[in-house]
Structure 1
Amino acid sequence: MLHRNAAVFAAVLGLGRAGSKIGDFWSQSDWCAQVKGASDTAPVIYENPVTKTKSTHGTVDGRRACIHHCLTYTATQAAFVGVGSRALGIRLHPGAAVTALAVSGITHYIADRRVPGGVLETLATKTGKGSFYKLAAHGLNGAFHLDSSWHHGWETVAALIAATKATAR
């Protein structure tokens, strides 16, 4: 039983990570990527890459862009975990799967809103990583790496949740 649970966890984590990367970078629109951190105090000017028109976006658009991104991200993750689990003969409990996806999607939103003084920046500052968060030199981007590690951690929690009630077919 222990080995089966560990194997299910590893499979779900791997599938979830793959879905996460595709959802975060390929499924996300350019508009969402640029506008999701917009706020009224730090508006974002978005230039449409096709029409070259510019528009200014504040808090409402930032929230809307981040929600849209998190929905497509979570849907992509659900597809990877769902199809992969089926192919591997793993039956995930629907409630556990939904809870796991909710954990991943909600924590993704918390990190990706990235408004000035947002959760990640505040957490980084309080843990002595504020300078690293702001680093954007020498081929590194501290905010990106802290964001990515935040997602990895929560996706691991989500995989544990999904794997707890899974059964083999």
Structure 2
Amino acid sequence: MTFAVVFIALYVGHSLGDHWVQTSCQAAEKGRPGWSGRLACGRHVLGLTVTKGVLLALVVGVLGVPVTAAGLTAGLALDAVSHWWADRRTTLARLAELTGKGEFYSLGTGAHPAAPVTAAGTPAAHLGTGAYQLDQSFHHLWLLVAALLIAAL
């Protein structure tokens, strides 16, 4: 039960932190090279981790779920590090290439061989990209690992 409760809180916290708490500036800058990109990514991950921590505290407190400080620290730290790594963008793009997902990573962008266009040949609106889907699924994997750590320690 602890794992399920923790995972749900982390998942909701991830969705809020990645989409509502993250600023437009952080989203635009976090993948840039150099210290400005690293710091923007760090600010994003800090806000994301605080969001997850607040939701975890609320859910664990209300439901009386047994977790330890060591488990919370290890789980949230691992999640934060993995999130920062993926959100630097070039790292996840390289992983996609290495695993044969490079074409899928470019899906929905002008770089994809079947880039969506209108009848007039201009870029067409769409609901997302392969890069976003791979990013989110990578984060979900680490949410699962973080929840396991929190529940097990």
TM-score (norm 1): 0.78
> What are the superposed Cα offsets for residues 121-151 of structure 1, whole Å, 9 maximum, x if unpaired?
1111111110000111453400000000000
Structure 2 stretches of 5 or more lacking a match? 109-115, 117-125
Letter in 2 for 1:68: R
CA distance in 1, matches of 2:47, 2:94: 26
Q: Secondary structure at the match of 2:141?
A: helix
Contact 2:2-2:66 at 8 Å conserved across structures: no
Give the alignment partner of residue 60 of structure 2, picking from 85, 90, 105.
85
Residues 49-60 of structure 1 mapped to structure 2, 5 A cutoff = 59-60=34-35
Is 1:70 paired with 2:45? yes
Structure 2 partner of 1:144: 132
> What are the superposed Cα offsets for residues 21-64 of structure 1, whole Å, 9 maximum, x if unpaired?
1011111111101111112xxxxxxxxxxxxxxxxxxx211111
RMSD of aligned alpha carbons: 1.0
Is 1:127 paired with 2:102? no
Structure 2 partner of 1:23: 17
Structure 2 partner of 1:107: 82
Residues 3-18 of structure 1 mapped to structure 2, 5 A cutoff = 7-18=1-12
Aligned length: 137
Structure 1 stretches of 5 or more lacking a match? 1-6, 40-58
CA distance in 1, matches of 2:41, 2:132: 16
Normalized per residue, the structure richer in strand is 1
**Paired-residue identity, %:** 38
